[in-house]
Amino acid sequence: MWYARMPHTFHANRQYHINCRKGDLAEYLLVPGDPDRVPKIAKHWDFAKEISRRREFCSFTGEYKGVPVSALSSGIGPACMAIVVNEASRIGVQTFIRVGSTGAISKGINCGDLIISSAAVRLDCTSNCYIIPEYPATANYEVLLALIEAAESLGITNYHVGVTATTADFYAGQNRAPSSNYPPIAPNLLKILQKAGVLNFEMEAATLFTLANLHGLRAGTVCAVYANRCTNQFKEGAGEENAIKVANEAVRLLFEWDKRKRRTGKKWLFPSLLKKKL
């Protein structure tokens, strides 16, 4: 893999925050939070070039196993993710896959495991600016299936599938008291979510799912578990490489599935379609 570095420039015909224009990003976009994770993703590609670095938004475009793909960091939090979805969708992105890190809230999940989100609890506040709170934040089923298939095909079996809680804040929002003077306003939130079977805390998935669905786009999330709130374990970077591999391979699968749908004139992916000879 190689990549070319681009100068830090801004032009009027580019989207204001992400500094990208039509043609800069592929239809399939991987979205890590950390800008430093973008080149880590791109090192697995056949080739890549840096498109832009502006604020927390770092973008690369290239190919993975012959499939056009891009990566664009969102920074931390739901408001930044909303910027990415709004601006990237204006210039042609159709499928978003968040490649993140997360904290588990279930005893059965270890540091280094992966969590593939099927849906998210909307504690992000940002999505409420777009639609009523009752609107569900769900992953696109094709992206969800591609992430699971990618993990299995790569021999990565330490993954979990389920509901994620997306919060607007890392501290009080996730039941961490920043100080004795400011305890969390919902002190039982962690226990409530655990009892409901929610797997993890993070800060972007619900916003991504909600906005993607409102835009008629596809979105999914795979996160590496860096911490577990039940066991008080913390291992920074644990599972990151596997999350990246799964996300890249999911793009290849989606590309092949999309091609199959076009050839057969089908709008929706279904199991028997994947078995048909073309």
Whether residue 8 has pLDDT greater than 60: no
- Our CA angle for 243, 107, 183, nearest 5°, is 95
Compute CA 167 distance to the chain's CA centroid, rounded to the nearest angstrom.
Answer: 15
Return the exposure string of 61-97: e unless at least 16 CB atoms fall within 10 Å of the residue's CB, then b.
Answer: bbebeebebbbbbbbebbbbbbbbbebbbeebbbbbb
| Given the residues 14, 37, 122, 229, the one annotated as active site | 229
The contacts of residue 50 (CB under 8 Å, 6+ apart) are: 3, 4, 5, 6, 58, 59, 60
| Given the residues 90, 176, 215, 260, the one annotated as active site | 176
What confidence category does residue 268 fall into, taking pLDDT thresholds of 50, 70 and 90?
Answer: very high
Can you give the residue ranges of every domain in the chain? 3-275
| Given the residues 56, 87, 202, 204, the one annotated as active site | 87
Strand partners, 221: 98
Q: Which of 48-52, 233-237, 272-276 has the lowest mean pLDDT?
A: 272-276
Whether residue 251 has pLDDT greater than 90: yes
The answer to whether 140 touches 223, Cβ cutoff 8 Å, is no
Neighbours of 133 (CB within 10 A): 9
Q: Which CATH superfamily is domain 3-275 in?
A: Nucleoside phosphorylase domain (3.40.50.1580)
Predicted local distance difference test score (pLDDT) of residue 7: 45
Active site residue 54: no
Whether residue 175 has pLDDT greater than 90: no
Whether residue 2 has pLDDT greater than 60: no
Active site residue 21: no
Whether residue 9 has pLDDT greater than 60: no
Residue located via tokens 């979805």: 85
- 132-147 pLDDT, tens digit each: 999 999 999 999 999 9
CA 176 – CA 172 distance, rounded (Å): 5
Question: What is the mean pLDDT of the segment spanning 187-203?
Answer: 95
Active site residue 87: yes
Active site residue 262: no
The contacts of residue 167 (CB under 8 Å, 6+ apart) are: 123, 124, 173, 174, 201, 202, 203
pTM: 0.93
CA 190 – CA 149 distance, rounded (Å): 31
Return the exposure string of 34-47: e unless at least 16 CB atoms fall within 10 Å of the residue's CB, then b.
Answer: bbebbeebbebbee
- 84-116 pLDDT, tens digit each: 999 999 999 999 999 999 999 999 999 999 999
The answer to whether 29 touches 96, Cβ cutoff 8 Å, is yes
State both tokens at 127. 């999505």
Predicted local distance difference test score (pLDDT) of residue 3: 47
